[in-house]
A = this chain, B = another copy of it.
């Protein structure tokens, strides 16, 4: 049979993303992706010539998803606490459950194994995420919702670091540990209210 069901690229990316999250870049094979979706490894190569291309595509789609999500959060929430809570919820929702772990963390650990394209996507992913968080921080400072003790870039990096770390550690610490840490974040305990 010439075609079994004409796999869509999204199906391929879904499986690749799932495997990448749970096993790391060197922990899954093109064959694994094919089997999961019901085609041969040769067919996977038809859609994405190399494993590096596949990983770059997965990262690209992931990044776009995050940008859409953070843009929506920026629209839906105007206050700092609301935005932080929404970001935390987004991380918990997009990322926890079927395999936890954010692709950014995975990509950092496996950075040396990635293709140039995938490394570039990783850098962009980090820049986009911190960019949004820094924007939120700047606006919150203008509204005097948080103290201006540190620059926005550093606060954004710190917030992202905590989220990434907590997500990663949840594999040994359990989901409840992640929930506790993010609750602490969302409570705003990281950022002093001005006047104190």
Q: Which residues of A contact B (CB under 8 A)?
A: 22-27, 101, 104-113, 122-123, 126, 130, 149-150, 153-155, 157-158, 160-166, 168-169, 171-173, 177, 180-181, 183-185, 189-190, 192, 196
Contact = CB atoms under 8 A, between A and B. Distances in A.
A108 B100 CA distance: 11
This chain: copies in complex: 2
Contact of A164 (B158, B169, B183): B169
Given A24-B109, A161-B166, 17 more contacts: A26-B26, A26-B27, A101-B108, A104-B169, A105-B109, A108-B168, A108-B169, A111-B172, A126-B172, A150-B184, A153-B180, A158-B162, A161-B163, A161-B164, A161-B165, A164-B164, A164-B165
B150 A161 contact: no
Given A166-B161, A181-B154, A171 B113 contact: no
A157 B171 contact: no
A161 B185 CA distance: 12
A120 B107 CA distance: 24
A160 B170 CA distance: 12
A160 B161 CA distance: 10
A91 to B, nearest CB: 12
A112 to B, nearest CB: 5
Nearest to A180: B154
B161 A157 contact: no
Contact of A173 (B157, B165, B173, B185): B157
Nearest to A181: B158
A24 B110 contact: yes
Contacts of A164: 161, 164-165, 168-169
A107 B166 CA distance: 14
Contacts of A104: 169, 172
A190 B181 CA distance: 12
Nearest to A147: B189
